[in-house]
Amino acid sequence: MQPTATRPEDRQVVHIDMDCFYAAIEIRERPELAGRPVAVGGRPGGRGVLTTCNYEARKYGCRSAMPAFKALERCPHLVILPVRFDLYRAESARIRRILLGYTELVEPLSLDEAYLDVSHRATPAGALAGEIRDRIRAETGLTASAGVAPNKMLAKIASDWRKPDGQFEIRPAEVAAFMESLPVRKIWGVGGKTAERLGEMGVETCGQLQGIGVGELHRRFGKFGVTLWELCRGVDRRGVNPDRERKSLSNERTFGSDLADIDQGQRELAALVGELAGDLAAKHTDRAVRSVFVKVKFADFQQTTAEQRCPGPQGEVFEALLEEAWMRGGGKAVRLIGAGVRFAPRPPDGGGQQLELFG
């Protein structure tokens, strides 16, 4: 039986984020690589993109989702290793058992991170997070960072505050002051385009965003504007969901001026597909893609989606889908284009439980 649901204002949420997970495992398996810049992913000859890299590589500007050839230009002595998902999943299973020893309310995000709701525990959440990190190190030889806060958004932000191998806690009484100077880019759901639009409004911090009324935010951002009004105040009502499984991944762009030319649309789509491929490489390499889709919203706000079964984000398939969707508008200009993938359901292992810890 799972713990009783807790009121949002009483939650104690821990976000556990493994440090450079794939690279850390490879270095643990090959101690001679310690202290050297190491990346996982890519293919021989500098093709493909990096899945992750350690902090030594990041000092040279290498990062996840970066094309391997660019990483090698920045760090010619970078060690690039092939991915070994069987090994990473085995480590995930070990870490999962550790987390489930503290609460049944464990929500996976990806192969290297998860939320825990420990509100029902008598021990303070900060102490539990420290104990969890100690156990992960002792049992796997790997390090994890942790964030502790009253909700998921703040816990995830906090886990990045003292990386690597660190921990940071935001207590309820500290939320208001913490949010005042927090960059809006740190808010859950705010990507590059939204941050750019906020910047055009003169908004760089959550404190500045708090000065804009909910009606104005709704006018500019639709339903997400109402969510922004709460998030910039540190309010996140989402609960920790142990049954969560992401079904799709997508991105989209609303244009300042409507597009009347499909060639313009194809150029914008190519950029979106590139970003999508990077996101998949960075966080979702353990998921099988079932289909891809293109969303088009016309100038009159009517929208349509074209979809096709496909095992990955192939550019030519997206191009054909955009043509199909564009034609449905009968010559209308286009104000938004989106690109995405839908994941195949995870096959159960022998016992019906996912082998992976995260995802």
Residue that is last in its domain, among 170, 200, 220: 170
- Give Cα separations from 357 to 78, 115, 281, 335 (angstroms): 29, 11, 18, 39
- What is the reported pLDDT for 9? 64
Q: Are residues 13 and 150 in the same domain?
A: yes
On whether both 70 and 57 belong to a single domain, the answer is yes
Does 133 lie in the same domain as 104?
yes
In tens digits, what is the pLDDT along the chain, a chain of 359 residues? 455 555 666 789 999 999 999 999 999 999 999 999 999 987 656 667 788 899 999 999 998 878 888 999 999 999 999 888 889 888 998 998 999 999 999 998 877 899 999 999 999 999 999 999 999 999 999 999 999 999 999 999 999 999 999 999 999 999 999 999 999 999 988 888 889 999 999 999 999 999 999 999 999 999 899 999 999 999 999 999 887 667 888 888 888 789 999 999 999 998 888 888 877 876 676 788 999 999 999 988 899 999 999 887 788 899 999 999 999 999 999 999 999 999 988 664 433 333 333 33
**pLDDT computed for residue 1 by the predictor:** 44
**39 in the same domain as 80:** yes
Same domain, 163 and 182: no
On whether both 304 and 290 belong to a single domain, the answer is yes
Query: Read out DSSP for 196-248?
Result: HHHHHTT--BHHHHTTS-HHHHHHHHTHHHHHHHHHTTT---PPP-TT----E
- Tell me if 221 sits within 8 A of 195, measured CB to CB: no
Kindly report whether the peptide bond that precedes residue 67 is cis, defined as omega within 30 degrees of 0: no
pLDDT confidence of residue 278: 79
Q: Which of 65, 85, 105 is a domain's end point?
A: 85
| DSSP for 152-210, written as a single string | HHHHHHHHTTT-SS-EEE--GGGHHHHHHT-BGGGSTT--HHHHHHHHHTT--BHHHHT
Residue type, 136: I
Q: What is the CATH number of the domain that holds 279?
A: 3.30.1490.100
Full residue range of the structural domain in which residue 182 is found: 176-231
Give, as one character, the DSSP assignment of residue 33. Answer: G
H/E element, 308: strand 303-309
Whether 227 and 254 share a structural domain: no
For 79, the token pair is 């060690």
Do 84 and 99 form a contact (C-beta atoms < 8 A)? no
Query: Taking a C-beta distance cutoff of 8 angstroms, is the pair 53, 60 a contact?
Result: no
- What total number of domains does the chain contain? 4
Closest by CA position to 147, among listed 176, 125, 121, 122: 125
Domain check: are 48 and 136 in the same one?
no
**Helix (H, G, I), strand (E, B), or coil: what is residue 13?**
strand
**Of the residues 32, 65, 85, the one at which a domain ends:** 85
Tell me how far apart the alpha carbons of residues 261 and 263 are, in angstroms, rounded to a whole number: 5
Assess if residue 2 is contained within a domain: no
* Residue 3 located in a structural domain: no
Residue 357 lies in a domain: no
Domain containing 66 — which CATH number?
3.40.1170.60
Structure-token match 């979809």, residue found = 307
Question: What pLDDT is attached to residue 7?
Answer: 61
Residues 144 and 14 in one domain: yes
Write the CATH number for 213: 1.10.150.20
- Tokens matching residue 78: 């970078």
132 in any annotated domain: yes
Sign of torsion over alpha carbons 44, 45, 48, 53: positive
**Pair 137, 14 in one domain:** yes
From the list 26, 113, 268, 356, the catalytic residue is 113
Q: Report if residue 242 sits inside a domain.
A: no
Which residues are within 8 A (CB) of 271 and not within 5 positions of it... i.e. 6 or more apart? none
In a domain, 355, yes or no: no
Q: Considering the entire predicted model, what is its pTM?
A: 0.71
Report yes or no on 237 lying in a domain: no
**Residues 23, 39 contacting (CB under 8 angstroms):** yes
- In this structure, are 157 and 278 located in the same domain? no
Interior CA angle at 269 toward 268 and 270, to 5°? Answer: 90
Rg (CA), the chain: 22
| Closest C-alpha to 164, from 358, 33, 17, 14 | 17
Cβ neighbours of 282 (radius 10 Å): 18
Does residue 320 sit within a domain?
A: yes
* Same-domain check for residues 160 and 104: yes
> What are the C-alpha distances in Å from 73 to residues 37, 66, 76, 320?
13, 11, 6, 34
Active site residue 91: no
